[in-house]
């Protein structure tokens, strides 16, 4: 086992087991963790073996993540509970507030405990975007259109995650739900003034930050009334608003630098440098392994004590007894 601090890159793994190229990437000083996808899953037993192998490479161990929200976005299914889309909790809220909150906590606990059992350290959840009825890529991934309902249900869901031993990642700051465009394929533009965003989209983020949210993922969206750069590349959003105004002190992780919404800054190294200069602690390079190799070969970033502290906030805890 190699001893080295966690770096600022979270990267994808190619298949069901670690190949030589995977090991070389994960042992690079810039690597801080791995993100897994459906391509990395065959069974719960296989997944656990893969995660054991990743964790055994380094000390402190690399942290392993997944986009596993429920509904459309659930990477592992066979042997895992089918978590419903978060909109179902919002619909439940409209019928019975207390029961919806209890169900949100139960589902968060189920999701976390099942993933932790297989060696996943955290999932990129909950979605804090609002359901404005205009975003197909968000849609039923959002809890509700009302920001206060989203805040309450997301907080209850995070209670479940914590009980299952898992930190939470709120996304997509400052809000992806208003725009119709999908940032996986283009750069969306949200023309609303700050006043409208502040009283709606920012409400769940502010509430979860006060609750101690461990990490946030910014959106690859341009809000031209606030800044000309996408939020993930914007010091205005990440420093002035997120760090100073909302007083967030956790880990900021970029969305995938391979997405179309991220490519405006240049090649993969330029994107990573721009994200970190804006205020991201960690950058994601998920699916383009050649780009990952290029990033690891040419980027000159160095780990810091601040990065180590924020990474430590994402470490999984022993799950509490959960029904």
Give the relative orientation of helices 97-117 and 147-163 as an angle to the nearest 10 degrees.
Answer: 40
Show the 3-state SS of 82-117.
CCCCCHHHHHHHHHCHHHHHHHHHHHHHHHHHHHHH
As a whole number of angstroms, the distance between CA 238 and CA 242 comes to 5
Lookup result for tokens 């919404």: 261
Catalytic residues: 184, 255
Q: What are phi and psi of 63, to 5 degrees?
A: -95, 140
As a whole number of angstroms, the distance between CA 104 and CA 108 comes to 6
Q: What CA–CA distances, in Å, run from 154 to 83, 109, 157?
A: 15, 13, 5
Q: What are phi and psi of 215, to 5 degrees?
A: -150, 155
- The tokens describing 165, both together, are 């031993």
Per the rule left: phi > 0, alpha: psi between -120 and 50, beta: everything else, 133 is left
Burial class of 47 by CB neighbour count within 10 A (0 to 12, 13 to 18, 19+) = buried
């Amino acid at each position: 086992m190699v001893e080295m601090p966690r770096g600022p890159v979270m990267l994808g793994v190619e298949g069901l087991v670690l190949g030589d190229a995977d090991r070389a990437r994960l042992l690079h000083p810039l690597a801080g963790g791995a993100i897994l996808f459906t391509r990395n899953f065959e069974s719960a037993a296989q997944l656990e073996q893969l995660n054991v192998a990743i964790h055994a490479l380094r000390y402190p161990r690399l942290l392993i993540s997944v986009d596993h929200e429920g509904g459309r976005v659930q990477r592992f299914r066979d042997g895992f509970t089918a978590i419903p889309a978060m909109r179902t909790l919002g619909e439940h809220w409209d019928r019975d507030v207390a029961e919806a909150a209890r169900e949100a906590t139960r589902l968060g606990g189920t999701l976390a405990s099942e993933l932790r059992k297989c060696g996943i350290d955290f999932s990129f959840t909950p979605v804090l975007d609002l359901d404005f009825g205009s975003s197909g890529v968000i849609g039923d991934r959002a809890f509700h259109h009302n920001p206060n309902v989203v805040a309450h249900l997301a907080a209850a869901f995070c209670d479940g995650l914590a009980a299952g031993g898992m930190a939470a990642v709120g996304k997509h700051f400052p809000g992806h739900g208003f725009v119709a465009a999908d940032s996986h394929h283009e750069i969306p533009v949200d023309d609303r003034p700050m006043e409208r965003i502040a009283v709606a989209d920012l409400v769940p983020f502010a509430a979860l930050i006060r609750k101690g949210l461990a990490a946030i993922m910014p959106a690859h969206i341009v809000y031209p009334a606030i800044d000309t750069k996408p939020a993930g590349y914007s010091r205005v959003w990440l420093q002035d608003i997120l760090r100073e105004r909302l007083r967030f002190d956790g880990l900021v992780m970029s969305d995938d630098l391979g997405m179309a919404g991220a490519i405006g800054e240049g090649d993969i190294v330029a994107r990573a440098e721009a994200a970190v200069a804006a205020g991201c602690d960690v950058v994601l390079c998920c699916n383009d392994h050649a780009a990952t190799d290029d990033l690891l070969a040419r980027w000159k970033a160095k780990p810091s004590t601040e990065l180590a502290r924020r990474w430590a906030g994402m470490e999984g805890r022993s799950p509490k007894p959960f029904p």
